[in-house]
Structure 1
Amino acid sequence: LLLPAILVLSDALCVSAALYFSWYARYVLEFGPEIEEFNFQPYSIYFPLQLWLVTVTIATFQLTGLYRTRRGLEWFDDIPSIVRGTAVGVMIVFTGVALSRYPASSRLTFILAWMFSSMLVVLGRALVQSLLALLYRRGIGIERVLVIGGNNLGRMIMQSLAARRHLGYEVAGFVDDDRLGDFGPFRHLGGIDDVERVALAERIDQVIVALPAASHGAILGIVDLCQRAKVRFKIVPDLYEMSLSRVDVDTVSGIPLIGLKAMAIQGINAVTKRGVDIVFATVALVVCAPMMLLGAALIRLESHGPVLYRQIRIGKDQQPFQMYKFRSMRQDAEGQREDLLREHDQDGRLFKDRNDPRRTRVGAVIRRWSLDELPQFWNVLLGDMSVVGPRPQIPQEVAGYEEWHGKRLAVSPGLTGLWQVSGRSELSFDEMVHYDVYYIQNWSLGLDFRILLRTIPAVLRARGAF
């Protein structure tokens, strides 16, 4: 109950401040059309509306679920709901003012109140979550989680939770009948029948079930065990299921016919996404130009050779294109790739090495913070890539594809994507493809926006980047 109360207080202060700022901008700074002296309205006219605006906005937030405790979300996930909620609050109060002929009649002031409310509430909630993250990192208020399932899905869940300590989760370990050993830092705590014992012994707060959909009986049994142990539980759908969740259902003479919906990124959606890409890439190149010039100079000073590294990647519909990056390795880096593959015994489809000896000192820095990828905004302008999309692949990786891997080539590759914000280089190849397929099947501008917002903290924390 403490967190919702803190959020209500934060929202109330932000909405109150927003109404004052909007009045100040309109009548003191004279933002908008010129105000005649006899039309000036003192703040004392708007002050009584604060209580109404705060009350209506908070009630709207409550109805839309903005005060539910949901640890799995970042602060920016609520931005669309906040913008809608503040809009509803302002419109209701403005309608009441208009119907009652109350003297606070400036429409521009109410429009500014909506804009300021949206921005301040978002900033206030970001501050609250930052304070919570600080407490979580110190071990205060964390939830201990037990994952059921040591399969790919279970490993993805554990890695994702471990990489997001700021959300307040601590993975105690996992249980699985078919796996007897630990998985990296995650302990194998027993079989599925041991859930109740493990939950009590490890002081588990929440159980996450990550079993295949075919395990219906086992899942029902786990639900019963969790209820007996009085532990909260959540069930994670398999990513294969999620990719098939977009279905059309028709009937012929009462017989249901089920088929897959068309891919989301086509037609008007594809045109819209391309337009957003062009605008975003143009702005990014202009804003990042000084940083790119500095990076180019440092690369050239440290090692001889071209500043830009050009590499053939496979794009949409398996069409090859030349991708640009800042050079972060020595000139003969590609020649040493096969030797390193043999030395590290890695699958060439996703070769990564934290201590790659081919990397220069400047290269290590720009790779860590993903600055080497800034020239790819030019690829976006050329139409080879998108800002958000599947990870671009080299021809050797595509040559080793299984049939289902090819789904990720149905759209243009991206600078960032679900793979980028879900572990980056810490993911296995198949896990990365799962994320890409899910993105393709469930694309929306809102999903792109959330991925872009998640990319910022992922890059700043340099999570999984090497």
Structure 2
Amino acid sequence: MAMPTPIPLGALPLQRRRAMLKRFGTNFAVFLFLSDLVLTTLLLHLARLVRPHLPWGLNVGARGELLHFSPALYLIVPTIWALTFLFSSVYDPERTLRWVDDVQTVAVAIGMATLVFAGLAYFFYRDLSRYLFVTFFVFDEVGLIAWRLFLRGIIRLRRARWPHPVRRVLVVGAGKVGLDVARQIEAYRWAGLELAGFLDDDPDKRNRHFLGRPVLGGLERVAEVVKQHHIDEIVIALPLRAHKRMVDLILTVQRLPVSVRVVPDLFDLAFFRATVEEFGGMPLIGLRDPAIDEFQRLVKRLFDLVFASIFLVLAAPVMAAIAIAIKLDSPGPVIFKQQRVGEGGKLFTFYKFRSMYMDAEERLQEVIHYTDDGKVLFKRRDDPRVTRVGRFIRATSLDELPQLFNVLKGDMSLVGPRPELPWLVDRYEPWQLRRFAVPQGITGWWQVNGRSNKPMHLHTEDDLYYIQHYSLWLDIKILWMTIGAVLRRVGAF
């Protein structure tokens, strides 16, 4: 069989391609950021010009004076929009790859920025026309979303000739179904997909090429291949007879920082939260999709942004006092930063007020406790690494307040399973990895049901209960119960 000639992209060194993609992504994000601010300012001016000609409302205030427009708003509004957009992951390509995600993210960010603007106007610009405000909101929603869709259309037209991939895809199975999937990936190169290669256990297919892409080894090499070839997506296309092998593979890849899809067959995956979607006319089962649907996620994110902002404003004096106390109590930074595992197994920087001495990490093994069956309990009450101020802020959970910034950044949610340490995740059993199917939170179901008094495997059972019974009302209930747990200092030390 004659092999197609590989595209020129394959001849480029991997690191060079990644660097080119990174530069393009950075430059495009900067362009998009600046264009959003310019367009928002222009739409504000347009709303100001159009408002007097609209057939509703009056241009007078409550006391009969003419409503005025402050030129300072041309600076204030873009500043509010800039800060809100940066905190709302509007420019994160991982979260806005699909057009529906892009539109939702922008729409929510505009809504949040508008709420902040409304609060500011209420206190400092009481004579600003409310109809002007509403007109600007409508113009901005329509204008920025239309601008995004226009840019996506331009990118789609150009990517047919653009050689830089956005997401690298590994196909597991080089049989008929796997090759069909690979052909569709090649057909969707305009969307930023690149076929990296195949995995297959058939010895006759080792070291062969299909559609110009190599078979990179057997299924046992999946973790190694994901790391070496910077894989972003895995599509499993194994035959029915490989059912047991497929299930083992799924359990393995659940811990990897990749999206996983399975071409459906007659196998039982009822123990996973799965969604069916279409790709190139073929149905795929998403095994890494969150346990909450897109609308629930949208509502949850909006809820997080609103209440995290409110909590930060209310807690600002307390946080300032804690920062001063920490500096006076012991040497070292005020904020403790640590890598934690977030939704989908992705690492992020986790913030807390520092409650321990600077050598705490080196002394970790001194204080780890285990249950009788070898499960990690982790905390102990007489931890000698904790400072005097640290004991108070840990007992009252005030050390968690900086995580409100993680919520605004989109790394965490107000409610959800706690983000875990990477070395603890390495000890997880396969069923425990399901806790990463939703955004990780500041508080959660296990925190209000015993908190640190439980061993780790029971924490996970509580987290899975939360995932299976998720609702916005459950989030509100947990937040309310958290207040009681903190006041009673249940399980906190």
Shared fold (TM-score greater than 0.5)? no
TM-score (norm. length: structure 1):
0.43
TM-score (norm. length: structure 2):
0.41
